Amino acid sequence: MTHPLNPFAATRYEARKARTTIMAKWGTALACLMLIAPVLWILAYIFHHAWPAFSLDYFLLNPSDKGKAGGLWGPLIGSFYLVICSLCVAVPVGVLSGIYLNEYAKENWITRAIGVGVTSLAGVPSIVHALFGLGAFVLGLLPLINRFIDDPLQRMHAGLLTASLTIAVMELPLIITSTREALSSVPKTFREACWNLGASKWQTIRTIVLPNSLGGILTGIILSVSRAAGETAPILFTGAAFSLYVPETFPEKLAPYAVSEPFLAMAYHLKIIMAEISGMPEHMKFGCAAAMILLILSVNSLSIALRMKLRNAKKW
């Protein structure tokens, strides 16, 4: 006697197992749909309302009339430099810290406490990081640097440097954790084979372990990029501005900000035009949100493409 769900099921047990398999399949598919559908709906809603604002000038012109006219070039390029500068600090420090904790540090209560501390830092609210950046970098680091600068016109102010350092501190826990997990995923036999050939520990890490763990490390970097580009509170206290002069001609507009001066950023610009500017056209608000999404997707796409290339190069 066979069952319609499974022609090979000759018993009640096999029929019940077939029903369970089908229910599990459709249940997980429904859960996946419940996750994807709201995201797609939000994206469609934002881009639908932003479409009237989209044009080449919208991305190449600077904001004018308190953001009610013009484009988004100033905030767009500011967010791009914020992400790049923060990664220039967070990636070397985070990756090297992960290498030390995973490859060199002995397993004891100290390293376990450090691991718990790093993991806990990933959940600290952004406003706490903002206050830390304000105290450590704006009120602490800048006065220390300015003591060695005699010319008052050359002294540093809260700007791209202090904001990037604050964002880098936020990115470190994620990068350190992803680095440790990626290094741990490399089989120990790879290390032992390299040691048996006479390689030192650093040579083994540099030539064997790191190349085979770059995909996982890049995953952490990709996630940190999204957070860096979307945070408002940390840059609010450490250097972001809403209205600044930005050159209108190339090539000057490609690098409009000094590291020691305030800068424009997409997240802060969106916060101001959404909450503090009256009479703001709706398409300008949604256009800014859509442009920020496109910026994050562009940077992430490059990272994902590099990660896929590295994963395809693996031999195991």
Q: Give tens-digit pLDDT for 203-236.
A: 888 888 888 888 888 888 888 887 777 888 888 8
* Structure token digits, residue 58: 């919208």
Output the pLDDT for position 212: 85
Q: Are 168 and 89 in contact (CB under 8 A)?
A: yes
Q: Are 156 and 146 in contact (CB under 8 A)?
A: yes
By C-alpha distance, which of 195, 230, 183, 187 is closest to 86?
A: 230
Q: Average the pLDDT over 76-81 and give the result.
A: 89
Residue 312 confidence (pLDDT) above 80: no
- What does pLDDT average to over the chain? 84
pLDDT band at 190 (very low <50, low <70, confident <90, very high): confident
Helix, strand or coil, per DSSP, at residue 51: helix
Output the pLDDT for position 313: 63
Q: Average the pLDDT over 92-96 and give the result.
A: 93
pLDDT band at 158 (very low <50, low <70, confident <90, very high): confident
Residue 39 confidence (pLDDT) above 70: yes
Buried b (16+ CB within 10 A) or exposed e, 71-97: bbbbbbbbbbbbbebbbebbbebbbeb
Q: Are 263 and 163 in contact (CB under 8 A)?
A: yes
pLDDT band at 109 (very low <50, low <70, confident <90, very high): confident
Output the pLDDT for position 179: 92
Residue 84 confidence (pLDDT) above 80: yes
Q: Name the DSSP class of 264.
A: E
Q: What is the pTM of this model?
A: 0.82
Output the pLDDT for position 113: 87
